[in-house]
Structure 1
């Protein structure tokens, strides 16, 4: 059985909460390759980044750290529900700081994996933190691109003006505007006229017993989302992202854009060792937890990390 430890470590001005997954035959006297696992936007460490990918990688002999983003889950930081890409990327660096401080982690064999928004954050982190020796993006979504398109309804300037007005109001004492990225249920989404596969399947995952967790809030602080509007997860990938890269996507594209983002970063990355795996017949949210597509993904991920770490 995989060994699970709940840990905390210092971030900028608060503590990060994380789950440390250890191999079944763990021996503190040995050194292991280690992987940082980053959760999706609006998610938490107990969901797909932890209970699916971190757990299975630990079974394969890796030490894996699945953490809660700052301002989210059980991690500290105020105000709550901030989704600031720069801080999300910084979180990954602090997670690596924690891992390399452990005597049983080989600091020269650090990898990173992320799901959805976490996949793109992992790509951005690896571009500028070359302690990451190899990385995998699982159905990764470039949050900056998504903010400029679907989340702002393609009215970037109008969205920025609304965010500015709300932040000014909050600075003067108004209540924080916390938005829920998803409808309350699949049925409620359909009744509201939503037909996009990603929104409906996200709702099925996050709002039902299938994936629901207390800290999987699917919430964002509206006034602070402006930080993502000019951000690009793939910036400078053509020159700075040189580590081995594995991109995993499903071939059922949805509104969040993981399919197109996967092909984009595969083309742009400077990595000499890069590969893309398309799980045929499966969608973005199938790759979160469904046994067959996850098994397909793991059939690529495990040999990839064993080769490069």
Structure 2
């Protein structure tokens, strides 16, 4: 997934300018002595995530349970004042020119609001690579591909021969 897209889309409520203004205000407040604002990027529990969309529920299920939790400083909290740089970042910049290496992209076909499915299709389309393969794990989501045996098996069935041939 393209984290820059995630920041200026879903993580900003699709209001990147207002969010950047809030980040700037927080940064200014911190320079003047205010406490840093550490924001939880996900609800505290799976129950609290109910009804918030596929990606929020599944990310919470992964990162806020023993399945993927990395306490005490896992990837579910962020200093608000340090996020601005990511809003202008695009992981796919110049892919049409610079991404010439063999590329195998694996996506689940259950798209969520964080854009993983869309981003996977986009980098596959944009990459200059002459050798590329798109693998769509049907019936599975981005977070299923982290550790669930069946979709991981589908991914590995494509990735292992791809790597054997191209590494």
Per the shorter chain, which TM-score range? Answer: over 0.9
Q: Decide which of 133, 152, 157 is 1:294's aligned counterpart.
A: 152
Structure-2 residue corresponding to 1:253: 111
2:69 is the alignment partner of 1:212: yes
How many Å separate the matches in 2 of 1:308 and 1:171?
Answer: 50
* Deviant stretches of 4+, over 6 Å: none
Deviation of residue 213 (structure 1)? 2.5
Deviation of residue 254 (structure 1)? 0.4
SS at match of 1:216: coil
SS at match of 1:275: strand
Q: How does 1:1-309 map to 2 (within 5 A)?
A: 141-190=1-50, 193-194=51-52, 196-214=53-71, 215-309=73-167
SS at match of 1:262: helix
Structure with greater proportional strand content: 1
How many Å separate the matches in 2 of 1:156 and 1:290?
Answer: 33
How many Å separate the matches in 1 of 2:69 and 2:12?
Answer: 26
Q: Where does the alignment leave 5 or more consecutive residues of structure 2 unmatched?
A: none
Q: Where does the alignment leave 5 or more consecutive residues of structure 1 unmatched?
A: 1-140
Q: TM-score, normalised by structure 1?
A: 0.52
SS at match of 1:201: helix
Deviations 1:63-90 (A, max 9, x none): xxxxxxxxxxxxxxxxxxxxxxxxxxxx
How many Å separate the matches in 2 of 1:216 and 1:155?
Answer: 26
How many Å separate the matches in 2 of 1:254 and 1:174?
Answer: 36
Deviation of residue 146 (structure 1)? 1.5
Higher RCO, Cα 8 Å, sep 6+: 2
How many Å separate the matches in 1 of 2:75 and 2:132?
Answer: 34
How many Å separate the matches in 2 of 1:282 and 1:275?
Answer: 18
Deviation of residue 156 (structure 1)? 1.3
Deviation of residue 217 (structure 1)? 3.9
Q: How many residues align?
A: 166
How many Å separate the matches in 1 of 2:163 and 2:92?
Answer: 21
Q: TM-score, normalised by structure 2?
A: 0.95
- CA RMSD, 1 decimal: 1.2
